[in-house]
Amino acid sequence: MVLNTKVAKRPRGRPQTRPDEETRELILQAARQEFHASGYAGASMGRVAERAGVSTKTMYRLIPTKAELFQNVISERISRFILEMDEKHLDGLPVDEALEHILITYGTLTFDPDTVSSLRLVLAECDRFPEIAAAFNELALRRTTQSMEGWLMRQRDRGEIAIDDTATAVGMLRGMMIMEPQRAIMLGLRAPPDHAEIVKRARTCARLFLDGCRPQQ
């Protein structure tokens, strides 16, 4: 009697030991280091793969172009800010505490060394690569503005503040919070503020802003 027992064939190639999402995160970390070290023009997809410890084949499968790689680096950083702008959480706070939280989060994002390096890269190379300026504007500036403006609109609709042009108000609020320190940082005149300085500045800006736009009794 002959037993016809089939032996399962092993799949070709090495089995995948890391989920794509984890690999993607390693690639983005490596890309951030590569962009900051070499600039956009000088950044090498091969060096990014080497820094991440993945094959170029895997990297190109997950993120096929340098432009897309840069967009993902910017988007990943801003996503942290968006998570902190949770509507349910903010709307459960008093208006002054909520605005302080928003400004602390925004200041922490803006003054982070990675953000500063990314902005320097964009300013230095946007003439040659206008797509990186467009990506930074769309993924960083526009998304943070929309989140902050959405909060202002909700407070206006509740009667907490009196503002006609929320878009202009967001620009004023952002400028008050970050413009002077950011300009000094970009010029190399000072180091980024620490958390305590960011908190102090956020509280001052929130008070000045709210005192100026509360409904008249």
Q: 175 and 145 in one domain?
A: yes
pLDDT of residue 7: 43
161 and 150 belong to one structural domain: yes
The pLDDT tens digits for 87-113 are 888 989 999 999 999 999 999 999 999
Residue 198 burial (CB count, 10 A): 22
Each residue's pLDDT tens digit, 2-40? 444 444 444 454 555 778 999 999 999 999 999 999 999
Per residue in 188-212, pLDDT (tens digit) is: 999 999 999 999 999 999 999 999 8
Domain that holds residue 40: 19-64
Q: Flag whether the pTM goes above 0.75.
A: yes
Burial class (CB in 10 A: 0-12, 13-18, 19+), 64: exposed
CATH number at residue 208: 1.10.357.10
Cα(86)–Cα(83) distance, integer angstroms: 6
